[in-house]
Homo-oligomer: A and B are copies of this chain.
Amino acid sequence: THYATLTDKDVSFFERLLSSGRTITNPDECLPFNIDYIKSCQGQSQLVLRPKTVDEVQAILRYCNEHQLAVCPQSGNTGLSGGSVPVFDEIILSLRLLNSIGNFDENSGVLTTDAGCVLEKLDTHVRQFGHIMPIDLGAKGSCLIGGNVATNAGGLRVVRFGSLRSAVLGLEVVLPDGSLLDCLTSIRKDNTGIDLKQPFIGSEGILGIVTRVALACPSLMSGVGLGFFACSSFEQILSTMRLARKICGETLSAIEFLDESTYNLSLKYLQRTNKPIESNKFYILIETMSSTDEQAKATLEKLATTALEKEFITDGTLAQDLTQYKDIWAIRERVSDALVADGYVFKYDFSLPTSRMYKLVEETEERMKQFSNVGNVTGFGHLGDQNLHLNVTVKDGYSDDIKQALEPWLYEWVAKEHGSVSAEHGLGLHKSKYLELNKGKHSLELMKQMKNMFDPKCILNPYKVLPYKTD
């Protein structure tokens, strides 16, 4: 291999560097850091490092770069593409202890914080000041903001607040050679030269390690509305979405959809027997947020009335209080858990033109008919962002035959439609080989040049994102 093998001398160096308990070599203790959240892959790292300060991160990388030791940076380890665990025996650099919440500027609504803070904790923190985090997603209780930024994580409110990238005002990054790149400004506008922080956002830790971030946090909207509607076709789902855009306008904060099988799986998982609305083929969830409660609810009520009149929807309910609000959201938010409970899951995260979004689910269903062990083919996701989560569950565990039938067929289908094979989950390990299919040879070549510029010894998160030849 290209990399050096870890020696006792190396371990001693790290033990001297990090105070007690922060250099883990015990295989049992290393195990949870070696397995990813959905158990799709497992590495064999023998060393987990848990720095508490940026200085320590710098010292670790400086040493690893000098000694040609490969490093797998790990944030909350909630990724779905195998990007956050080692492939072989890379040293795991966990950022979880780098977790001081820094300053929140009440005038500008900008939060500056260490990368290792849990997203939900930060959200609770900024809510005290009348703001919210610009990102919200199912894993909020365990994912870390640094990983969110390093993967440009998506989630439920992209339709309102845009991608996380657009909220990142400043970044501090430790480069592979241990040097510090300070782009940690917290001002909203700054056009002074090439925006150096951008390549790090969404590059999944292959260019540098994000240690601090400055984020623009939207104002807290105290008024919230939530509608849940049933439709008999995907066309009606789209009509309802377009109507919502018109009627709810600037109050819209989420547009999500589920198909019948996703909905049923989620209700089963939640052990709900009485359904909130009459069953149908599709379900759409529309959330509004406004500075006043009346406005958030008024636009939604108008939407419900009009959509019923126009027969876009067949049934619907509006959340009357926080309990109902949480109850309805749970149906959407617990889908991932419901799928895992249904068997082994092949998970896909595509971006497609809305007119083609559900066609892919139908064709996949057709294609899976030959396999009696397929549990469910389900489609759901962030409709307002054209983001489809397609899942295939297998009753009796992983099946290579099914995988062969799905890949590369699915990836080619999406590429042909000019979609993205990864709308928000990233490429990680699982999808790196499809990068060229999506982006072409020239882009791939430039990405490699950029990797080479920041990480000439290639020590950071190897085998991820960019396709590696394992020769």
Contact = CB atoms under 8 A, between A and B. Distances in A.
Interface of A: 105, 107-108, 130, 151-152, 154, 158, 162-163, 165-166, 179-183, 185-196, 198-199, 201-203, 206-207, 219, 221, 238, 245-251, 289-292, 295, 299, 351-355, 382, 385-387, 418-427, 431, 434-435, 438-440, 442-444, 446-447, 449-451, 453, 465-466
Nearest to A426: B191
Contacts of A382: 189
Contact of A201 (B188, B195, B196): B195
Contact of A194 (B188, B196, B419, B450): B450
Contacts of A165: 166, 195
A443 B130 CA distance: 34
A203 B385 CA distance: 28
Given A190-B423, A194-B202, A427-B193, A219 B249 contact: yes
Given A181-B442, A199-B199, A245-B219, A447 B194 contact: yes
A298 to B, nearest CB: 9
Contacts of A152: 191, 195
A151 B195 CA distance: 11
Given A166-B165, A199-B199, A353 B108 contact: yes
Give 4 closest A-B pairs by Cβ, nearest first: A249-B291, A166-B166, A198-B198, A189-B423
A190 B349 CA distance: 10
Given A203-B194, A219-B249, A107 B446 contact: no
Nearest to A450: B194
A354 B180 contact: no
Contacts of A151: 191
Contact of A442 (B158, B179, B201, B453): B179
Contacts of A431: 192
Nearest to A418: B185
Contact of A191 (B180, B249, B420): B420
A199 B198 contact: yes
A439 B193 contact: yes
Contact of A185 (B251, B420, B422): B420
A300 to B, nearest CB: 13
Given A386-B108, A449-B453, A420 B181 contact: no
A392 B173 CA distance: 38
Contacts of A248: 291
Contacts of A292: 249
A291 B247 contact: yes
17 contacts: A105-B353, A107-B353, A107-B355, A130-B246, A179-B442, A182-B442, A185-B420, A188-B385, A189-B386, A190-B422, A191-B202, A191-B424, A192-B431, A193-B466, A194-B206, A195-B199, A196-B450
A456 to B, nearest CB: 11
Contacts of A193: 203, 427, 435, 439, 443-444, 447, 465-466
A452 to B, nearest CB: 9
Contacts of A191: 151-152, 154, 202, 420, 422-427
Contacts of A434: 192
A102 to B, nearest CB: 14
Contacts of A183: 439, 443
Contacts of A250: 221, 250-251, 289-291
A249 B290 contact: yes
B219 A189 contact: no
Contact of A187 (B130, B419, B440): B419
A247 B219 CA distance: 11
Nearest to A289: B250
A180 to B, nearest CB: 7
Contact of A188 (B290, B386, B465): B386
Contacts of A203: 193-195
Nearest to A216: B162
A183 B206 CA distance: 20
A388 to B, nearest CB: 10
Given A162-B166, A182-B440, A187-B420, 11 more contacts: A107-B238, A108-B353, A183-B443, A191-B202, A191-B424, A193-B443, A194-B202, A194-B447, A196-B443, A198-B199, A450-B453
